[in-house]
Chains A and B, each alone.
Chain A
Amino acid sequence: MVDNFFYALSAVFQWQNILLIFLGTAIGMVFGALPGLTVTLAVTLVLPFTFDLSPESGIILLTGVYCAGTYAGSISAILINTPGTPSSAATAWDGYPLTQKGRSFEALSIALHASVIGGLISAVALIFFAPMLAKTALAFGPPERFALTFFGLTIIARVSGNSMSKGFISALFGLLIASVGVDPIMGVPRFSFNTFYLYGGIGMIEVFIGIFAVAEIFNQIGKRAEARVLSKSGTQKKIMRWKDIVPHYWTVVKSSVIGIVIGVIPGTGGSIASFIAYDEAKRSSKEPEKFGKGSFEGIAASESANNGVTAATLIPTLTLGIPGNTVAAIFLGALLIHGLTPGPQLFVNQGGLMYTIMISFIVANIVMYVQGRFALKWFDKIIDIPAGIMLPVILIMCLVGAYTISNSLNSVIVALIFGAIGYAMIKFEYPTAPLVIAIILGSMVEESMRQSLILSDGSGMIFLTRPISLVFFMLTVFVTFSPFVIRQWRKRNPKAI
């Protein structure tokens, strides 16, 4: 462990990697700050450009984008009442009223400090808990792996979006897409339509670019451009310092822990964490009446929670191979591209890389703080970049990024097709997270299921006679059916609510 730790330190502090962290945080900040452009989009666009880098450098770059993108969602939430990322919605409730009072700099400073503390606490949690969980997961055989991935998919489909059925349909289509290519056990081609390109399966990155980036471009083009009104008059350029956050210290720590706990649960994410933390901060505040009217405590709670999710969501991703959210799914994809299979074995075989990821989260948050302090005065300029300029830039990055995957137009065609599918999913309110995560987990689900059945001579009882897999199946049944049971119970006992 000590060797891995020192290896990671030397890897992260190479000057090239420090430069990559600076570059990643800058990209993340711009994307996170622009309304409509998400951190997922930023990470997706950067991913193809990590192919030529070493796994360490590639992951370090993605970490910078992820951390800064999550924080930067607060910038447009505070300045123009439009959250750059969904997880910053709660920040807008207090941030924008402060901007209207001419105190946007203080709001942005509080958001930056709270985000950095949340991110650092989350990184420490990753360092401590991930190796422990990985040790436990080493005991998992194919039946346990199948039960776990099945449970992960179910919970992601269950909690993503408003409709459980749509979540399941999305996950099933993801599994279907994952089944294209050569069968993992017998090696026969499936749904290849005698096309050489499809023998290798549908490329994950092309799908990510299509579903997240191209679909979002279509979505933004389809929306009518709204005139942004920014109240800049009388803005005080007062930047807060560490001592200014001391009164909110307990709120920040508590919200960061909420972010970590929520982040570990697959399928949840920054949005849920920030709303829960905001609600909890309001409940326990000495001045709850200020919430929604410009409370620094509210901003601190929301921002520390959504950044508390960032590293925590990688705990199940790296140890169990179950991505906590879409960005974690892309991280998983990045590891797979570099020939690394996420899961407990990764800690045994690639301990150095694992600690590099963990330490890069700490460094990325520090770099984010430095850049954030310098960039505060430029933020209102970033969010004023018109869509007519920004969208073509992102579109060309998508097309070029897709092309670089296979040096052919096949990948671009796949990205465009999935862009259209992703756009339809946005319009018909199908969540994209289950689809993407199912594409990543698809082969693992099928392989572990079939390996288990080979071990048991075809008997499905193998999943119910092993304690860990039984527990996961019981949890799956509980997660799937508990909403119906609760609904029926509420109908019959209206007074109990």
Chain B
Amino acid sequence: MLGAVIKRSISSIVTLMVGVVVFLSIPSQIVIIDSEGLSSVDARTVPYLITSLIIIISLIMIISESVKIRKEQTDTLEDKSSEQTNYVRVFLAFLAITLWIIALPYIGFNIATILLVASVMVIIGNCRWWQIALLSLILSVPINYLLANVLRVYLPSGSIFG
């Protein structure tokens, strides 16, 4: 029963936890200055109000989900997901972008983007090697050139290349 509630309310539990953490962090994150008696609400009021509502609505969602499960009288409920999702691919794509952000200042836009495009195409699959090579090149050097010469946006050229 508890397992089913947690499984079906995982998103509400996350929003509840975020709400509580932000609520508790308000005193340290928002400093009150003396002249704020102006309107009976200060800089903390709205964040307190928002986080309190997030906590209350999340709790209501968790409680209503557990009541629903109790009504259904089963604790072995499965998600009725009609669509299969490959989370490994999503995680790998996230990782590739993170590495691109980390590597960009060091190896520059051109090389980092060639590596990112190639890895994302490999992650997605169904791409031929020449497609990977061609698209990686098209999305790196020409885009860098266009941004620099047309929009005057200068992307990092890489500290290891001076």
Residues of the B chain whose Cβ atoms lie less than 8 Å from the Cβ of A172: 50, 53-54, 57
Contact B15 A169 (CB under 8 A): yes
Residues of the A chain whose Cβ atoms lie less than 8 Å from the Cβ of B89: 221-222
**CB contact between A224 and one of B32, B40, B84 (< 8 Å): that residue:** B84
Alpha-carbon distance A407/B124, docked complex (angstroms): 29
Residues of the B chain whose Cβ atoms lie less than 8 Å from the Cβ of A450: 39, 41
Nearest-CB residue, chain A, relative to B31: A188
Point out residues on B near A: beta carbons under 8 Å: 10-11, 15, 18, 22, 25, 29-33, 35-36, 38-43, 46-47, 50-51, 53-54, 57-58, 60-61, 64, 83-87, 89-90, 93-94, 97-98, 100-101, 104-105, 113, 116-117, 120-121, 123-127, 131, 135, 139, 143, 147, 151-155
Contact B121 A179 (CB under 8 A): no
Closest CB-CB distance, A488 to chain B, in whole Å? 16
Name, among A193, A427, A450, A453, the residue most crowded by chain B CB atoms within 10 Å (CB to CB).
Answer: A450
**A222 in contact with B90 given A190-B30, A389-B131, A391-B124 (CB within 8 Å):** yes
Does residue A175 face the partner (Cβ distance < 8 Å to B)? yes
Please classify how large the interface on chain A is, using the bins under 10, 10 to 19, 20 to 34, 35 or more: 35 or more
Partner-contacting stretch, out of A132-140, A267-275, A332-340, A395-403: A395-403
Contact A225 B124 (CB under 8 A): yes
Within 8 A of B (CB), among A308-364: none
In the complex, per-residue mask of A373-415: 1 if CB is within 8 Å of any chain B CB, else 0: 0000000000000111101110110011001100101001100
Contact A396 B113 (CB under 8 A): yes
Contact B94 A218 (CB under 8 A): yes
Nearest-CB residue, chain A, relative to B128: A388
Does residue A416 face the partner (Cβ distance < 8 Å to B)? yes
Contact B39 A458 (CB under 8 A): yes
- 8 A-B residue pairs with Cβ-Cβ distance under 8 Å, sorted by A, are A172-B53, A189-B31, A190-B43, A223-B85, A389-B121, A389-B131, A389-B135, A420-B94
Closest CB-CB distance, A37 to chain B, in whole Å? 15
Contact B30 A191 (CB under 8 A): yes
Contact B90 A218 (CB under 8 A): yes
State the main secondary structure of chain B at its contact with A: helix
Does residue A369 face the partner (Cβ distance < 8 Å to B)? no
Does residue A297 face the partner (Cβ distance < 8 Å to B)? no
Q: Lowest 5 A-B CB distances belong to which pairs?
A: A458-B40, A428-B11, A453-B39, A183-B43, A388-B127
**CB contact between A225 and one of B36, B104, B126 (< 8 Å): that residue:** B126
Nearest-CB residue, chain A, relative to B112: A399
What would 15 more interface pairs be, CB under 8 Å, given A223-B86, A400-B153?
A169-B61, A176-B51, A179-B47, A188-B31, A189-B30, A387-B126, A389-B121, A389-B135, A392-B116, A407-B153, A416-B98, A420-B94, A427-B85, A428-B11, A457-B39
Alpha-carbon distance A218/B43, docked complex (angstroms): 36
Closest CB-CB distance, B151 to chain A, in whole Å? 6
Task: Compute the total of residue contacts between A and B using a CB distance below 8 Å.
Answer: 164
Contact A388 B131 (CB under 8 A): yes
Contact B101 A412 (CB under 8 A): yes
Alpha-carbon distance A423/B31, docked complex (angstroms): 34
Closest CB-CB distance, A302 to chain B, in whole Å? 24
Residues of the B chain whose Cβ atoms lie less than 8 Å from the Cβ of A404: 147, 151, 153
Contact A179 B50 (CB under 8 A): yes
Contact B151 A52 (CB under 8 A): yes
Contact A175 B46 (CB under 8 A): yes
Alpha-carbon distance A222/B151, docked complex (angstroms): 33
Residues of the A chain whose Cβ atoms lie less than 8 Å from the Cβ of B54: 169, 172-173, 176
Residues of the B chain whose Cβ atoms lie less than 8 Å from the Cβ of A413: 101
Alpha-carbon distance A454/B40, docked complex (angstroms): 8
Does residue A49 face the partner (Cβ distance < 8 Å to B)? yes
Contact B29 A49 (CB under 8 A): no
**CB contact between A221 and one of B43, B60, B123, B151 (< 8 Å): that residue:** B123
Does residue A446 face the partner (Cβ distance < 8 Å to B)? yes
Nearest-CB residue, chain B, relative to A398: B97
Residues of the A chain whose Cβ atoms lie less than 8 Å from the Cβ of B46: 175, 179, 446, 449
Name, among A192, A222, A419, A446, the residue most crowded by chain B CB atoms within 10 Å (CB to CB).
Answer: A222
Alpha-carbon distance A350/B3, docked complex (angstroms): 58
Residues of the B chain whose Cβ atoms lie less than 8 Å from the Cβ of A223: 83-86
Closest CB-CB distance, B143 to chain A, in whole Å? 6
Alpha-carbon distance A246/B106, docked complex (angstroms): 63
Residues of the A chain whose Cβ atoms lie less than 8 Å from the Cβ of B87: 222
In the complex, per-residue mask of A192-219: 1 if CB is within 8 Å of any chain B CB, else 0: 1100000000000000000000100110
**CB contact between B124 and one of A190, A193, A221, A449 (< 8 Å): that residue:** A221
**A186 in contact with B120 given A225-B126, A396-B139, A404-B151 (CB within 8 Å):** no
Closest CB-CB distance, B90 to chain A, in whole Å? 4
Does residue A96 face the partner (Cβ distance < 8 Å to B)? no
Does residue A31 face the partner (Cβ distance < 8 Å to B)? no
Contact B38 A392 (CB under 8 A): no
